[in-house]
Amino acid sequence: MKAFIIDRYDGIDCVRASEMPIPELGEDDVLIRVVAAGVNPLDAKIRSGKLKFILPYRLPLILGHDVAGEVVGVGARVRQFKLGDEVYARADQDRIGAFAEFIAIKEEAVAQKPDLLSMEEAASIPIAGLTAWQALVEKAGLKRGQKVLIHAGSGGVGTLAIQLAKHIGATVATTTSTANLDWVKGLGADSVIDYRKDDFETLLRDYDVVLDTLGGKTLEKSLRVLKPGGKAIGIVGPPDPEFANAFGLNGFLRMAIRLMSHRVRREAQRHGVSYSFLFMRPSGDQLRELRLLIDSGAIRPVVDRIFPFESTKAALAYLEEGHAKGKVVIRVKENGRPSA
């Protein structure tokens, strides 16, 4: 099968097309013929080697996490899916590879594709949707009437997190650039702050939750807009000790991560709030919840641009420019046939 791989950790030029074997099908696996694949910042971080100590992949590695496609094989223990089912999923962390014509994923990570979505739209959902769900529903326990600040509201996670928070019944503030102010309001945000002109820290007070997608100074300032007992949830870091323990990292890495997050955890404690790091995990059950919300019209995907399969490298480069509104998607098949 054709796939886009890396042989080494480096810049965008290390991504190349290659012939790779079709994945072996395990007893709990679903083999998917990939129709579309979502592109995520996580793909760039893995390609560059920034996560190689936490995620020690064997090279060559097929990139890609988000997938939508057709079931063409099922393992002996699979019960929820049959040949021909249209599905979407976030690939298992230990064997990613959505930028390919086929991928095998454990049954528990797969869900039926939302009926209202095209394959390209469905492929835009998994990482962003699961991140929003796990941050706002699981970690934050966001409730009707609470206030949440979602940074980078025009990004892949931000666009879905705004809609999910509004569905829950929260009051939503977000940050974005001047060009996207009205567009983000159209997603449901109650307050939109132009980060080029205004400082959100001086405008917002007594928030229950912050979903931070930027890190650094933005995260530190976010702690100061929370009410006592409020929760800051970060998806770009720094990782916290809970993450290190959950990943089973060795003692050296656990200590390093504890030191990396010490400053922000100390600041959070000083302000009477909490900070936690979220590294999203695959979940077919949560994708089914998102499917219900999508098919009911509560959430709609936002796709900025669709690239053909042969332009996978260009799709990655475009995402890394940082100007996409919503998600970037690769169309692997065109009119029922591989596009490259």
Structural domain harbouring 19: 2-125+301-338
DSSP β-bridge partners for residue 88: 68, 111
281-336 per-position pLDDT tens digit: 999 999 999 999 999 999 999 999 999 999 999 999 999 998 899 999 999 987 54
Q: Sign (positive/negative) of CA torsion 283, 253, 231, 213?
A: negative
In a domain, 142, yes or no: yes
Q: Same domain for 271 and 133? A: yes
User: What residue type is 59 in one-letter code?
Assistant: L
Q: What is the CATH number of the domain that holds 82?
A: 3.90.180.10
DSSP secondary structure of 15-27? EEEEE-PPPP--T
90-137 per-position pLDDT tens digit: 999 999 999 999 999 999 999 999 999 999 999 999 999 999 999 999
Q: Same domain for 268 and 321? A: no
Q: Same domain for 157 and 116? A: no
In a domain, 294, yes or no: no
The total domain count for the chain is 2
Q: Is residue 338 pLDDT above 60, yes or no? A: no
Q: Same domain for 131 and 261? A: yes
Cut 0.75: pTM above it:
yes
Task: Label residue 8 exposed, middle or buried (CB < 10 Å: 0-12, 13-18, 19+).
Answer: exposed
In a domain, 287, yes or no: no
Q: Same domain for 151 and 195? A: yes
Which of 226, 245, 277 terminates a domain? The answer is 277
User: Strands 171-176 and 147-150: what pairing?
Assistant: parallel
Q: Same domain for 119 and 134? A: no
Q: Same domain for 37 and 91? A: yes
Q: What is the CATH number of the domain that holds 204?
A: 3.40.50.720
